[in-house]
């Protein structure tokens, strides 16, 4: 079984501690590889390599830098099948999803920012006697920390803009899903100059903690849980590091009676259960207007029950395994809690027995009805294949329900009434509102959440602004 290594200064090296963590296959519950248990010494080496590489990297022309990123995108595309199979084995996601979404999007992240950097402009402010212009320089060495649900997709979503803007990067994937990041580091090892990109594996509370505490790391781009985000903010704020925090969600999916029911149902099945519900943008609270509640519910349940659960490596599988045993247990506990609170299980409600026989961590897609809006099932992020469904009567009630959450990441609205679509989109306090669709992602748009879902925006020019420091230069015009 393979021992992974860290990419530091262009070399693939073992952790200095010599220690490794077990890496599990969620579909079998078995250890299949080992992840470096890196610590502050490995991070210090990585920061030192990045610091050495930084000046040269930030001074090469934008065209040259973009060429590196395009080459990385090509390498991802050329190895799409292998990376998708690895992602599926490591994360439990259906291989078809990794092949059609995760890995192509990882390549696209590099291609997009390779182009975007050539369009990135800064401002000039001109008056009679002076000209002000703004430089946007690289920050220096930056930290990119990503979660386990979309491993390569989210890691590259951070790395690509950071590199495009001229920074050198210390990246840490989740210790739970390190495989594609490791294979990626092998694939790009000889493409980038040594030290420009360093990928260090290990635990969040060791390697991650060392990144956020390192005084030479100028900025942290973090995607993960809200509690971890709060801890990172507390640690980094006194050091005045720049922070981008993409955190949890409890996203409402609002179905008005005038919607296109067929499309609302089929997309709601996807938005509830894609990647076993382990996507921060999944809709986990479905609110349906009373007139169509019964019809929507019956059709929705019928389609959920059709979802094909199975071995993630099978191309036909639509519901794979839950990423880790602790997370599997946490989701099952949430389902039991919902039952205790009086929730009626409309489908699912526990482990998928055939998967359990294989030793894997599988949960049946679960739909729960009859819970109060304020109960913990409707308020806490479960981050698994569990949704609640509730009726509402009026538009103001729907808006109130949607906003009754400490989170504010994403929402979906289903209506054929254009005026209502505008009114409700404006009133809902989430960073993203989808109208009659879900998960349509244009990489130029600002991406991020409000309230406990985070601070700052990723995507497009927002990401390039985050990874640069604006400097005002004022020149007197002396005629
Ligand atoms: P965590 O917050 O547990 O971990 C995220 C990353 O942070 C991992 O790499 C983790 O390492 C690392 N980490 C943990 N503790 C620290 C620390 N003290 N210092 C530095 N780094 C640390 O989140 P999960 O991996 O469990 O991801 C699920 C969460 O991510 C959900 O809440 C989900 O909503 C959110 N998410 C948000 C998205 C968004 O765009 N808003 C998108 C996708 C997910 P390790 O795993 O090795 O411990």
* Average pLDDT per 10 consecutive residues for the chain, totaling 479 residues: 93 98 98 98 98 98 98 98 98 98 98 97 94 97 98 98 98 98 97 98 98 98 98 97 98 98 98 98 98 98 98 97 98 98 98 93 98 97 98 98 98 98 98 98 97 97 97 91
Q: How far is the CA of 408 from the centre of ligand 1 (A)?
A: 17
Distance CA 136, CA 233 (A): 24
Q: Verify that 296 and 151 share a domain, yes or no.
A: no
Q: Is residue 448 part of a domain?
A: no
Sign of the Cα pseudo-torsion (377, 230, 158, 432, in order):
positive
Q: Alpha carbon of 369 to those of 277, 343, 387, 388: distances in Å? A: 17, 6, 9, 6
Domain count, the chain: 2
Distance CA 145, CA 225 (A): 11
Q: Verify that 187 and 261 share a domain, yes or no.
A: no
Q: Dig out the tokens for 338 from the structure.
A: 């919902």
Q: Which residues are catalytic?
A: 246, 280
Measured from the Cβ of residue 11, the count of other Cβ atoms closer than 10 Å reads 13
Q: Verify that 11 and 111 share a domain, yes or no.
A: yes
Residues 6+ apart with CB under 8 A from 403: 427, 428, 429
Q: How far is the CA of 327 from the centre of ligand 1 (A)?
A: 13
Q: Verify that 85 and 230 share a domain, yes or no.
A: yes
The pLDDT score that the predictor gives to residue 478 is 79
Beta bridge partners of 439: none
Nearest residue by C-alpha to atom 34 in ligand 1: 248
Q: Is residue 29 part of a domain?
A: yes
Judge if the beta carbon of residue 174 lies within 6 A of ligand 1: yes
- Most informative mutation of 22, 144, 178, 204 for ligand 1 (most atoms within 8 A of CB): 204
Domain holding 397, by residue range, is 251-442
Q: Verify that 378 and 360 share a domain, yes or no.
A: yes
* Pairing mode of beta strands 407-408, 450-451: antiparallel
Q: Verify that 62 and 152 share a domain, yes or no.
A: yes
Please, what's the largest Cα pairwise distance for the chain?
Answer: 84
- Most informative mutation of 224, 409, 459 for ligand 1 (most atoms within 8 A of CB): 224
The pLDDT score that the predictor gives to residue 1 is 60
Q: Is residue 447 part of a domain?
A: no
For residues 396-430, b (16+ Cβ closer than 10 Å) or e, as one string? eebbebbeebebbbbbbbbbeeeebbebbeeebbb
pTM recorded for the entire structure = 0.97
| CA-wise closest residue to 133 among 124, 143, 141 | 124
């Amino acid at each position: 079984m393979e021992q992974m290594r860290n990419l530091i200064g262009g070399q693939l090296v073992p952790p200095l501690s010599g220690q490794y963590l077990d890496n599990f296959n969620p579909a079998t519950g078995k250890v299949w590889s080992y992840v470096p248990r890196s610590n502050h010494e490995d991070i210090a080496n990585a920061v030192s390599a990045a610091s050495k590489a930084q000046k040269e990297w930030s001074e090469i022309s934008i065209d040259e830098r973009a060429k590196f990123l395009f080459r990385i995108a090509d390498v991802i595309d050329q190895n799409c099948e292998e990376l998708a199979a690895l992602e599926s084995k490591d994360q439990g996601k259906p291989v078809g999803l990794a092949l059609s979404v995760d890995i192509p999007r990882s390549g696209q992240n590099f291609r997009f920012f390779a182009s975007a950097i050539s369009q990135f402009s800064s401002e000039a402010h001109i008056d009679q006697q002076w000209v002000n212009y703004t430089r946007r320089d690289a920050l220096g060495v930056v930290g990119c920390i990503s979660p386990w649900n979309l491993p390569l997709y989210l890691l590259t979503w951070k790395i690509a803009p950071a590199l495009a803007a001229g920074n050198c990067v210390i990246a840490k994937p989740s210790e739970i899903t390190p495989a594609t990041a490791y294979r990626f580091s092998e694939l790009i090892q000889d493409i980038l100059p040594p030290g420009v990109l360093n990928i260090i594996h290990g635990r969040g509370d060791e390697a991650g903690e060392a990144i956020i505490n390192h005084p030479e790391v100028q900025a942290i781009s973090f995607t993960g849980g809200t509690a971890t985000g709060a801890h990172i903010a507390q640690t980094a704020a006194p050091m005045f590091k720049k922070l981008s925090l993409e955190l949890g969600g409890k996203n409402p999916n609002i179905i008005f009676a005038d919607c296109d029911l067929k499309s609302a149902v089929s997309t709601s099945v996807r938005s509830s259960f894609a990647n076993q519900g382990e996507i921060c943008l999944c809709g986990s609270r479905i609110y349906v207007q009373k007139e169509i509640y019964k019809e929507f519910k019956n059709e929705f349940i019928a389609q959920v029950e059709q979802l094909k659960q199975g071995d993630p490596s099978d191309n036909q599988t639509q519901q794979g395994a839950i990423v880790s045993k602790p997370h599997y247990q946490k989701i099952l506990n949430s389902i039991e809690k919902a039952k205790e609170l009086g929730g009626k299980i409309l489908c699912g409600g526990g482990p998928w027995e055939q998967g359990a026989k294989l030793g894997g961590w599988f949960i049946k897609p679960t739909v729960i009805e009859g819970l109060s809006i304020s109960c913990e099932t409707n308020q806490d992020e479960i981050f698994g294949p569990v949704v609640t469904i509730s009726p509402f009567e009026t538009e103001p009630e729907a808006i109130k329900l949607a906003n009754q959450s400490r989170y504010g990441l994403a929402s979906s609205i289903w209506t054929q009434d254009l005026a209502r679509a505008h009114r409700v989109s404006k009133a809902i306090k989430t960073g993203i509102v989808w109208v009659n669709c879900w998960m349509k992602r244009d990489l130029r748009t600002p991406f991020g959440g409000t309230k406990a879902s985070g601070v700052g925006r990723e995507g497009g020019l927002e990401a390039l602004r985050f990874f640069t420091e604006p400097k005002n230069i004022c020149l007197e015009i002396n005629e």
